[in-house]
Amino acid sequence: MPKRYKDIAGDGGSNIERQVSEQHARLHARLAEVRAIVAVVSGKGGVGKSSLTANLAASWALEGRRVGVLDADLNGPSMATMLGVRGRRLVVGAEGVTPPEGALGVRVMSMDLLLPSDDAPLVWEAPTQAESHTWRGAMEANALREFLADTAWGALDVLLLDLPPGTDRLVTVASLLPTLSGTIVVTIPSEVAHLVVRKSITIAAQAKAPVLGLVENMAGLFPGPSGVDLAREAGIPFLGAVPFDPALAAAADLGEPLVASAPTCEAARALTAIARTVAAALARAGAPAPRAPRPA
């Protein structure tokens, strides 16, 4: 019988260590054929991390790259919608869970595909209310480890990770991965966002992966400070500005990334240019393939 996330949590700890180390080995093996892993981060929610992830994935897929997306936002998953696999059943076989292919063949794994209904939230059941906070962090890490260990991505040129908001989430995710090729930080032109995003850049810079750069999304929507200045102050590359465009949101809701459905509009051109810049930065960095684990 397949084990469930709560089974791992609920065995009183007796088997956790062995299960975790087995999963860890499986996870390394799964990712051995993934050439680059890129995380999209921002301390701030609602700035466009998921929109950028979906459009980067689609841009690269349009150029013939094999792309996977792991929706690491367990509480607010949106990749299944944005890449058009909402409601698709997961196929579980001997090889693990096969991620459904969405727009342009992008392989998607998301909590959305596991929850029983659209309005069902993900609830971690802590043994006591007082423990619920630490419990949640540990359970999130467990669930992500299990996602990564159980998903049969196959060979991928790049696996994109769409992270939840929160400055510290990257640390958890990076600790689960054999290697992370780079991070992309997203902001919007507002002082409040910049305050939070500065912290994200600090954390990203401490991760074991290069910060590939900063994207300014919803450019022109707010009269706020410029992303170019923030990138310069932080000493990271500025990858480009994506204008506010309701068509981007509409395309996301339809599961058809804008770069594919309306490639000539300004927002799509900006996103495509960012995808090319990131691909070039990855190639320069050598984007080393994750190494297989050493035999125990």
Where does this chain bind ligand ADP (CB under 6 A)? 42, 45-51, 78, 217-218, 242, 244-246, 248-249, 252, 267
What residue 141 binds from Mg ion, ligand ADP, none (CB within 5 to 8 A, per partner kind)? none
Residues ≥6 apart with Cβ < 8 Å to 271: 52, 55, 56, 59, 242, 258, 259
Coil/strand/helix, residue 83: coil
Please say which residue, 30 or 44, places its beta carbon nearer to ligand ADP. Answer: 44
Query: Tokens 């299944």 map to which residue?
Result: 80
CA gap 77, 110 in Å, rounded: 7
Shortest CB 83 distance to ligand ADP, Å: 12
Tell me whether residue 31 or residue 230 sits nearer to ligand ADP (CB atom).
Answer: 230
The item of Mg ion, ligand ADP, none sharing an interface with residue 146, based on CB under 5 to 8 Å by kind, is none
Query: Which entry of ligand ADP, Mg ion, none binds 167, CB below 5 to 8 A by partner kind?
Result: none
Helices of type H across 124-265? 132-150, 169-176, 191-206, 227-234, 246-254, 258-261
Among Mg ion, ligand ADP, none, what binds residue 272 when CB lies within 5 to 8 Å by partner kind?
none
Nearer to Mg ion among residue 48 and residue 182 (C-beta): 48
Closest CA to 58 of 67, 48, 46: 67
Contact 219, 241 (CB under 8 A): yes
Q: Which does 190 bind (CB under 5 to 8 A by kind): ligand ADP, Mg ion, none?
A: none
Residues 23-52 that bind Mg ion (CB under 5 A): 49-50
The β-bridge partners of 96 are: 93
252 binds, among ligand ADP, Mg ion, none (CB under 5 to 8 A by kind): ligand ADP
Any residues with CB less than 8 A from the CB of 47 and at least 6 apart, and which? 186, 187, 188, 193, 197, 217, 218
Residues 26 and 149: beta-carbon distance below 8 Å: yes
Please name every residue paired with 71 in a beta bridge, in sequence order, or none if there are none. Answer: 162
Q: Cβ 151 to Mg ion, closest distance in Å?
A: 19
Q: CB of residue 53 vs Mg ion: minimum separation in angstroms?
A: 8
Name which of 135 and 244 has its Cβ closer to ligand ADP: 244
Q: What is the maximum alpha-carbon separation in the chain? A: 57
User: What minimum distance in Å lies between the beta carbon of 47 and Mg ion?
Assistant: 9
Q: Which is nearer to Mg ion, 77 or 210 (CB)?
A: 77
Q: Which parts of 55-114 interact with Mg ion (CB under 5 A)?
A: 73
Per CB under 5 A, residues contacting Mg ion are: 49-50, 73
